[in-house]
């Protein structure tokens, strides 16, 4: 086949995928090509960082920054009620803003899970909430024609006994996102890691949870892995190709994102705040960014000034509709999407300022 014929075939397949995606509900997409075409047209999504850290009101990195001992932090599970978490209302708000998909933290770095899992008792069903929040959000999104994505902390875990310790990789730098566990003053009895061979226990845990997420709730539009710096710190420990293969075997249409990229086989990139590649990570980061920089970009940013999980100190500093519209304009100019985050309050409700902003954005976009 001649080069020109191959190019025409690629364009034809892309056109067919775009046509199929345009007429499909996100939950009915059958292939990566259809999913990617739908994703490129979606432009605007809702991000949510929610977990037991929300109860403390000091952001999602509070366990690391404040060096909260593992056992003490674990007690937050018994205070988690999520009594005002309303998946239907959240999805209706997203639709009112003109958003096409939602993405919530299924598991963040503290390892608290918002879904049904047999791999850990540190989850919402074992809390006073006794609810599967990921299941509720997925059902609400499916009913309303919204896409559903799951954030999953693949390359950092402050609770699992076999995640790598602080004294490896980028731990010698001042970058907390690449430093593994919190810098506790006394050893934590929960931590069992001794050699790199122990890390396989963590990978088995991760793969089991990804299997749960991709078999319990029906069609999923994407798995959004994080944090990329945890991967760049120790790339040889992570079987990236195996992880991606597992996701695509379970749900072939499911898109994969791992921020700026791990091996170049991601479906799209999602750098924070701007399209510029991450400044850290060394040669691995630069090489993978070169492989991925032509892929569809999704800029992730938050309605609080910097923090993603709820921070009470920011209550009067949330960004307004003007800022959101300017950011959407920037994303449009780079032919990308905006994944806009809100940190739900401790009870699971959306901050009143954020809800007002999103509804105002929707009204002004219609005009």
Q: How many whole angstroms separate alpha carbon 16 and alpha carbon 31?
A: 12
Residues listed for the chain: 367
Q: Which strands, in side-by-side order, build the sheet including 147-153? A: 255-257, 222-226, 147-153, 101-107, 44-48, 337-342, 298-302
16-20, 88-92, 204-208: segment of lowest average pLDDT: 16-20
> Strand, helix or coil at 341?
strand
What the chain holds in terms of domains, given with CATH numbers, is: 49-366 (3.20.20.80)
Given a cut of 60, whether residue 16 has pLDDT beyond it is no
pLDDT of amino acid 172: 37
297 Cβ contact partners less than 8 Å away, ≥ 6 residues apart: 268, 269, 270, 271, 275, 331, 334, 335, 336, 337
Given a cut of 70, whether residue 17 has pLDDT beyond it is no
Given a cut of 90, whether residue 283 has pLDDT beyond it is no
Look-up of token digits 């409700």: 349
pLDDT of amino acid 166: 75
Given a cut of 60, whether residue 304 has pLDDT beyond it is yes
Residues 338-366 have pLDDT tens digits of 999 999 999 999 999 999 999 999 999 99
pLDDT of amino acid 279: 65
**Contact predicate 122/74, CB 8 Å:** yes
pLDDT of amino acid 24: 75
Given a cut of 80, whether residue 106 has pLDDT beyond it is yes
pLDDT of amino acid 118: 98
pLDDT of amino acid 179: 60
Look-up of token digits 């400044």: 279
> Strand, helix or coil at 186?
coil
Tell me the β-bridge partners of 366: none
31 Cβ contact partners less than 8 Å away, ≥ 6 residues apart: 17, 252, 253
Q: How many whole angstroms separate alpha carbon 149 and alpha carbon 360?
A: 24
Mean pLDDT of the chain: 91
- pLDDT bracket for residue 1 (50, 70, 90): low
> Strand, helix or coil at 229?
helix
313 Cβ contact partners less than 8 Å away, ≥ 6 residues apart: 57, 58
pLDDT of amino acid 174: 44
Given a cut of 50, whether residue 135 has pLDDT beyond it is yes
Please report the sign of the dihedral spanned by the C-alpha atoms of residue 128, residue 132, residue 134, residue 139.
Answer: negative
Share of the chain above pLDDT 70, in %: 89
Q: How many whole angstroms separate alpha carbon 10 and alpha carbon 33?
A: 11
Measure the CA angle with vertex 183, ends 103 and 345; round to 5°. Answer: 35
Q: How many whole angstroms separate alpha carbon 88 and alpha carbon 217?
A: 16
10-19, 83-92, 106-115, 194-203: segment of lowest average pLDDT: 10-19
- Average pLDDT, stretch 199-227? 98
- pLDDT bracket for residue 276 (50, 70, 90): confident
pLDDT of amino acid 233: 87
Given a cut of 50, whether residue 102 has pLDDT beyond it is yes
**Which tokens belong to 209?**
């949870």
pLDDT of amino acid 168: 46
pLDDT of amino acid 282: 81
Say which residue, 184 or 8, is predicted with more confidence. 184
- Average pLDDT, stretch 94-103? 98
Given a cut of 60, whether residue 148 has pLDDT beyond it is yes
Given a cut of 90, whether residue 12 has pLDDT beyond it is no
pLDDT of amino acid 81: 98
b/e per residue 293-316 (b: at least 16 CB within 10 A)? eeebbbbbbbbbeebbbbbeebee
Residues 235-272 have pLDDT tens digits of 999 999 999 999 999 999 999 999 999 999 999 999 99
pLDDT of amino acid 170: 41
Say which residue, 153 or 173, is predicted with more confidence. 153
């Amino acid at each position: 086949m001649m080069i020109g014929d191959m190019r025409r075939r690629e364009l034809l397949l892309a056109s067919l995928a775009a046509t199929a995606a345009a007429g499909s509900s996100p939950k009915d997409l059958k292939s990566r090509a259809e999913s990617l075409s739908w994703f490129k047209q979606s432009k605007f999504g809702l991000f949510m960082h929610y977990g037991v850290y929300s109860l403390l009101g000091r952001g999602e990195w509070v366990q690391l920054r404040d060096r909260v001992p593992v056992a003490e932090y674990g007690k937050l599970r018994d205070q988690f009620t999520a009594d005002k978490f309303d998946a239907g209302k959240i999805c209706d708000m997203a639709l009112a803003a003109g958003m096409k998909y939602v993405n919530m933290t299924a598991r963040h770095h503290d390892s608290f899970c918002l879904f049904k899992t047999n791999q850990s008792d540190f989850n919402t069903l074992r809390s006073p909430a006794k609810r599967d929040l990921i299941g509720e959000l997925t059902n609400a999104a499916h009913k309303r024609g919204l896409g559903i994505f799951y954030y999953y902390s693949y390359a950092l875990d402050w609770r699992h006994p076999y995640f790598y310790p602080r004294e490896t990789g980028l731990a010698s730098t001042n970058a907390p996102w690449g430093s593994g566990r919190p810098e506790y003053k006394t050893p934590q009895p929960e931590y069992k890691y001794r050699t790199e061979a122990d890390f396989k226990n963590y990978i088995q845990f991760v793969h089991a949870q990804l299997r749960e997420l991709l078999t319990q709730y029906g069609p999923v539009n994407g798995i959004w892995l994080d944090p990329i710096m945890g991967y760049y710190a120790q790339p040889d420990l992570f079987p990236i190709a195996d992880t991606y293969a597992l996701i695509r075997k379970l749900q072939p249409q499911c898109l994969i994102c791992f921020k700026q990229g791990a091996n170049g086989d991601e479906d799209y990139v999602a750098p924070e705040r701007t399209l510029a590649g991450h400044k850290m990570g060394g040669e691995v980061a630069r090489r993978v960014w070169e492989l991925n920089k032509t892929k569809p970009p999704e800029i992730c940013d938050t309605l609080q000034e910097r923090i993603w999980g709820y921070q009470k100190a920011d209550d009067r500093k949330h960004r307004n509709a003007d800022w959101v519209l300017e950011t959407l304009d920037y994303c449009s100019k780079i032919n990308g999407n905006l994944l806009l985050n809100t940190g739900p309050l401790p009870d699971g409700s959306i901050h009143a300022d954020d809800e007002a902003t999103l509804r105002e954005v929707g009204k002004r976009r219609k005009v």
